[in-house]
Structure 1
């Protein structure tokens, strides 16, 4: 284990490293410059300032932190404050001229968000920033103004986002509010694959405007951006989903618990489905499986997503369920054929307004015969369902005198409500690469570019030019969409109508594969005897009509069965007739065993008994339901009588069915009292009805005579005022009034 003064070229086990340039670190008070570039630095060259009042601030989530420095004799004493508690150290006394030197370590902190401020004593000439910061590998480094949820954004706040793209094409945005990868270089790149910040610059009339803190991609033309919709006046509409599950680094870190059943491949554990990576997966060595996540606090989840790397090994049918004790699970969604696509994420909407602490995917069948593989399993709350997001470019002005544009308003002149210095290079990274604007410049085929040589610099580029000196800096507009929610006020109570659900019958599927021999592709087909190899046991499990299938001579013990590799709960079975109906069983028992090795030995439990069974048509299934099914490895049909053939007993197909989804009882419609006082906006949002058509209202026409409303009903004459009350508890919407 490293100690103070050691050189740490890379983080030790249990730690992870962050560069201190171009990311989560905020530099203030004084001009910060880079040390001369050298391969001895741990990333980009660290910064230094000649001002003794310079400060560095950031935050981190974790339990420990290390500061690694480029040390030299002229550096000031460093003061580190963590949550208001200060320590100090002199880098020159630790190592007078070194690179990557461990100068500070703090351990034993609570696992939570900590705020760090680095300042300097006026005892030397240079204030040196750390070259790198190490924290525990389950933690994360945050900017002081960073938020992880859209609803927490305010002017000056920032939210992290990931962007990846091939050279010259528009890429993919994902992971809003999450740390997905290292930051995209501040000098930009043609092939980005990293994170950046969207910084909020304006919040007006339910619209938030956020600008990227850097050019996230260069060598991409305005024409390319325009063809995707980004450079157009209306911008490119985005669908942003904020995953409620954090990026998991183990089954329990950073928070919550990822779980799966005992069939999980130990090399591909549950948390791999929650690690925000498409290169790792959760896998189960079975065609069934359960994958769940337990939140630290109760949440209302009404959407989930599944990313399948290869659809041929993905789930086919499942239920999505919620629980508050891990024992009783409520089914929130049932999918019988997911229709997944390789390499894509598919989202499923859930009608749920109940808080649960655990949610799980209960998979009943797979597209494969031996496994299930899921790349990512995400869950979403409804707090951003009413948001519309658009991606576009900044406006940049047509000339140096045109100041009515977003570059000048936000980048050059705004302090973001006092949170930054206007035009701060360490906030906007405007130097080195021009930022492409949407504004037409000297001709229709030219576009304004800003920055690079200086903050206020304004030039132009041809719309088709893709150059390393010109970059793409996106603007994100987030608009709040008006929501119409309704509650019914009746008898002093605010109510909602729950329409209920009809009965959903159980579904099942054949548990045996299509056999090509008694042992392939899996399991064991067996019988007490066979007439010949042409009528072997496996012919009753080959999923074909073979006239007779399995057959044997009469006059001895007669049974036919199948042994699985693992115990299965068979809920029903079927016997399929062939071409000779008299050979078919008439009386039999179905038995199960967990200790038989070949179908002949072992202890057997009777599961079903039938007598007097007859067939009237060829190639027809007759199904039988088990009243008390249980898990057994071997199942055997013990035949004591056939339908009259004195020479042979035969079965065309013997089918065993396992449960896919259980029967779901019908849920009656009902009225739910939401509140007895006027509900606030949150109650309306979470509990209100989106669609009044569930009330099954019927159009009604009613006539109100224009009389004096007395018992005599005297008709009013001309010029008289007519007044009548209409019962709005009964007539919710008045569509038309006709006066005659």
Structure 2
């Protein structure tokens, strides 16, 4: 797996220093709808194209720029509005209190743990394919003509007991998704505790890979977790699951949000200005100018290197609303209003700050979401890695 311009790839946040990167997955299978993040540090999927896509499902890199802060190396989703991102809490960010506990499985026993099932249709639909991180036409399917009265099940065994308190299921869009089931935990594979019961889960989409989430109360650690299926939707031949995710509590309280970009021009005294003084953006600590344009990340990159940040291809939605009457760039004749939102980056930027101002509902094929990841990083960790 090649990293951006030779940066060191890390597999966990604790080992990262400024200028290192970590892979992550982002999935948004419907244009104009916000997606979700997964596989931080473990993603091996194909990359999201740096040229942009409205329906991404793949890998991108987060580059560490400061303590507890990582910025994406590209716009990961185009054709999505600021308003939609804000509704999804991707503008200011919403702390993630859970993280996927499952690795990306490449077989029933690799890289760690063990996947088993009541039956499989064929090796093309083996049980581990519901845990391989790939949303596609495959996944796990039970034996053909399997009688649901005997119950079909799919389970994952961790290397050590762990507390799971929620799970997500992605259907195969083939009308074979589970309808009634229990989600159970065990430490010996014989004695099971029912943690969640679902009934009449119907009307799964047959046109998109639909994902549904289920939460329950659990403070116990179990080594094995199983979905025990008693009936399925529509199709009588078998039951199938495209992907299954299991979540544990996240003690680092990670959150994904959008970049800060400044909201006015900077004057010689370090104050805001409504006219361009050719001194940059105010406040000068905004992440776009401070890191993407003006930082060498402790000597690991060239300042403003587009091979690292890919900012000349697509504009990035930013958090900021411009000061009313300010930041009227040479690209526009309209005076900035606080009903607009700032987005930065394009192929013609030669002086900084440059910007575009768009209403929050605008959707553009070269305008989209470049995430920032914040997480709680201890002072002890920072002393070690900086």
**Structure 1 length as normaliser, TM-score?**
0.39
Q: Does structure 1 conserve the Cα–Cα contact (< 8 Å) formed by 2:26 and 2:56?
A: no
Map of 1:450 onto structure 2: 344
Map of 1:278 onto structure 2: 135
d(CA) in 2 for partners of 1:375 and 1:220? Answer: 26
Q: Give deviations 1:22-59, integer Å, cap 9, x for gaps.
A: xx3343xxxxxxxxxxxxxxxxxxxxxxxxxxxxx4xx
Measure how far apart 1:197 and its partner are.
Answer: 1.7
Q: 2:26 aligned to 143, 152, 162, which one?
A: 162
Map of 2:380 onto structure 1: none
Map of 1:217 onto structure 2: 77
In terms of Rg, which structure is larger?
A: 1
Q: 1:302 aligned to 164, 174, 177, which one?
A: 164
Map of 1:387 onto structure 2: 253
d(CA) in 1 for partners of 2:134 and 2:195? Answer: 25
Matched, 1:314 2:178: yes
Map of 2:226 onto structure 1: 360
d(CA) in 2 for partners of 1:174 and 1:319? Answer: 23
Q: Does structure 1 conserve the Cα–Cα contact (< 8 Å) formed by 2:139 and 2:241?
A: yes
Gaps of 5+ in 1: 1-17, 19-23, 28-56, 58-142, 481-740
Map of 2:269 onto structure 1: none
CA RMSD of aligned residues (A): 3.5
Closer/same/farther in 2, CA of residues 418 and 298 from structure 1, 3 Å limit: farther
Measure how far apart 1:330 and its partner are.
Answer: 3.9
Matched, 1:290 2:153: yes
SS at match of 2:319: strand
d(CA) in 1 for partners of 2:197 and 2:230? Answer: 10
d(CA) in 1 for partners of 2:121 and 2:366? Answer: 48
SS at match of 1:197: strand
Measure how far apart 1:222 and its partner are.
Answer: 4.3
Matches for 1:50-449 after TM superposition, within 5 Å: 57=6, 144-147=8-11, 149=12, 155-159=18-22, 160-164=24-28, 166-167=30-31, 169-177=32-40, 178-179=42-43, 181-203=45-67, 208-222=68-82, 225-226=85-86, 230-231=90-91, 235-237=92-94, 239=96, 241-261=98-118, 263-266=119-122, 267-279=124-136, 280-284=138-142, 285-287=146-148, 288-295=151-158, 297-309=159-171, 313-324=177-188, 326=189, 328-331=190-193, 333=195, 335=197, 337=199, 339=201, 342=204, 343-349=210-216, 351-354=218-221, 356=223, 358-366=224-232, 371-382=238-249, 384=250, 387=253, 389-399=255-265, 400-401=278-279, 402=281, 403-439=284-320, 440=322, 441-442=327-328, 443-444=336-337, 445-449=339-343
Closer/same/farther in 2, CA of residues 181 and 150 from structure 1, 3 Å limit: same
d(CA) in 2 for partners of 1:308 and 1:193? Answer: 14
Map of 1:546 onto structure 2: none
Measure how far apart 1:275 and its partner are.
Answer: 1.8
Closer/same/farther in 2, CA of residues 416 and 347 from structure 1, 3 Å limit: farther
Report how many aligned residue pairs link the two structures.
329
Q: Does structure 2 conserve the Cα–Cα contact (< 8 Å) formed by 1:408 and 1:456?
A: no
Q: Does structure 2 conserve the Cα–Cα contact (< 8 Å) formed by 1:299 and 1:381?
A: no
d(CA) in 1 for partners of 2:93 and 2:20? Answer: 23
d(CA) in 2 for partners of 1:454 and 1:308? Answer: 41
Closer/same/farther in 2, CA of residues 193 and 386 from structure 1, 3 Å limit: closer
The structure richer in strand per residue is 1
d(CA) in 1 for partners of 2:297 and 2:131? Answer: 35
Measure how far apart 1:300 and its partner are.
Answer: 0.8
d(CA) in 2 for partners of 1:212 and 1:346? Answer: 26
Q: Does structure 2 conserve the Cα–Cα contact (< 8 Å) formed by 1:412 and 1:456?
A: no
d(CA) in 1 for partners of 2:313 and 2:196? Answer: 54
Q: Does structure 1 conserve the Cα–Cα contact (< 8 Å) formed by 2:170 and 2:244?
A: no
Measure how far apart 1:319 and its partner are.
Answer: 4.6
Q: Does structure 2 conserve the Cα–Cα contact (< 8 Å) formed by 1:447 and 1:460?
A: no
Matches for 1:511-660 after TM superposition, within 5 Å: none
Gaps of 5+ in 2: 205-209, 266-277, 329-335, 378-386
Map of 1:474 onto structure 2: 371
d(CA) in 1 for partners of 2:373 and 2:87? Answer: 18
Q: Which runs of 4+ in 1 moved over 6 A?
A: none
Map of 1:25 onto structure 2: 3
Q: Does structure 2 conserve the Cα–Cα contact (< 8 Å) formed by 1:398 and 1:448?
A: no
Measure how far apart 1:282 and its partner are.
Answer: 1.9
Closer/same/farther in 2, CA of residues 436 and 157 from structure 1, 3 Å limit: same
Map of 1:463 onto structure 2: 358
Measure how far apart 1:216 and its partner are.
Answer: 2.2
d(CA) in 1 for partners of 2:319 and 2:196? Answer: 46
Map of 2:332 onto structure 1: none
Q: Does structure 1 conserve the Cα–Cα contact (< 8 Å) formed by 2:139 and 2:242?
A: yes
Measure how far apart 1:213 and its partner are.
Answer: 0.9
SS at match of 1:195: strand
